Amino acid sequence: MSICIVNIAPGDLLSIESQLERRSWAFVDGVLSKGALDALRAEAFVDFRAGAFAPARIGKGIEKQRIQELRSDCVRWLDRSGATQAQLAYWQLMDQLRERLRVFFRVHLERAELHFAVYPKGSFYAPHVDQFRAQGDRIFSVITYLNPDWKPGDGGELRIHHLDSSFEDLSPLHGRLVCFRSDEILHEVLPALEQRVSVTGWIRRDAFIL
Ligand code: OGA
Ligand code: MN
């Protein structure tokens, strides 16, 4: 089956830049086509059922450990070389976003990394910042949700914490993209009462995985 590829609209890129400039986080709805979103979700589930996901880990190197009290999602890293058509569309979306943010913020942004994430019922991710303390390689976090039937009451909101301890909650709706400064934005995932799927990535300034 061939999927119509609509990655991200120019107006969405403009909106993301201006939201990021104003408050260091941004969201837009309706990225990709419904066909591509549905295909990504289906592909995540095929891999999930095949046991290709691993419990997510926190930290890096010898500090890397599974801390169940902090997060309980499972992830599967994606490789561009083995990408399906829908995954390729998402890699292209990340390229478009990276290029725009590179020019707009005048920063070096070398590449993106991506994984699927599945939060089984009851899973969450406690408040955290994405950039590893010792390294500044993750510059922007980018998450697109793949949940066509998400309803109010299903939980799983992304909670963005502000410095004045107020917060904003975003439901993980199909085709909603969230982008924020990896070094700045404290955020968490509230317990998901239904299985919650996303494709999560980081736009990085380094060339290679260390
Ligand atoms: C993460 C994360 C948020 C979300 O993977 O680091 O914070 O809404 N995800 O899935
Ligand atoms: Mn995070």
Predicted TM-score of the model (pTM)? 0.91
The confidence score (pLDDT) of residue 66 equals 53
Ligand 2 ion: residues within 5 Å (CB): 130
- Distance from the alpha carbon of residue 11 to the mean position of ligand 1, in angstroms: 24
Ligand nearest to the CA of 201: 1
Mutate to test the pocket of ligand 1, among 25, 139, 141, 184 (most ligand atoms within 8 A of CB): 141
CB count, 10 Å around CB of 138? 20
Categorize the per-residue pLDDT at 2 as very low, low, confident or very high, splitting at 50, 70 and 90: low
- Distance from the alpha carbon of residue 92 to the mean position of ligand 1, in angstroms: 21
Which residue, among 143, 151, 200, 130, has the nearest Cα to 176 in the 3D structure? 143
Place of tokens 């300034």: 205
Strands 177-181, 138-145: pairing is: antiparallel
- Distance from the alpha carbon of residue 4 to the mean position of ligand 2, in angstroms: 30
CA atoms of 62 and 201, how far apart (whole Å): 22
What would the pLDDT profile of 113-144 be if each residue is shown by its tens digit? 999 999 999 999 999 999 866 667 999 999 99
The confidence score (pLDDT) of residue 209 equals 52
Q: Which residues contact 89 (CB under 8 A, 6 or more apart)?
A: 3, 5, 7, 32, 36
Q: What is the mean pLDDT of residues 50-55?
A: 91
Query: Which residue would you say has higher pLDDT here, 80 or 70?
Result: 80
The confidence score (pLDDT) of residue 161 equals 98
Q: What is the mean pLDDT of residues 173-197?
A: 97
Ligand 1 and 198: CB distance under 6 A: yes
Q: Which residues contact 88 (CB under 8 A, 6 or more apart)?
A: 80
The confidence score (pLDDT) of residue 55 equals 86
Return the domain boundaries, the chain.
10-204
Q: What is the mean pLDDT of residues 152-165?
A: 96
Categorize the per-residue pLDDT at 70 as very low, low, confident or very high, splitting at 50, 70 and 90: confident
CATH number belonging to the domain at 10-204, selected among 3.40.50.300, 3.40.190.10, 2.60.120.620, 3.40.640.10 = 2.60.120.620
CA atoms of 182 and 86, how far apart (whole Å): 25
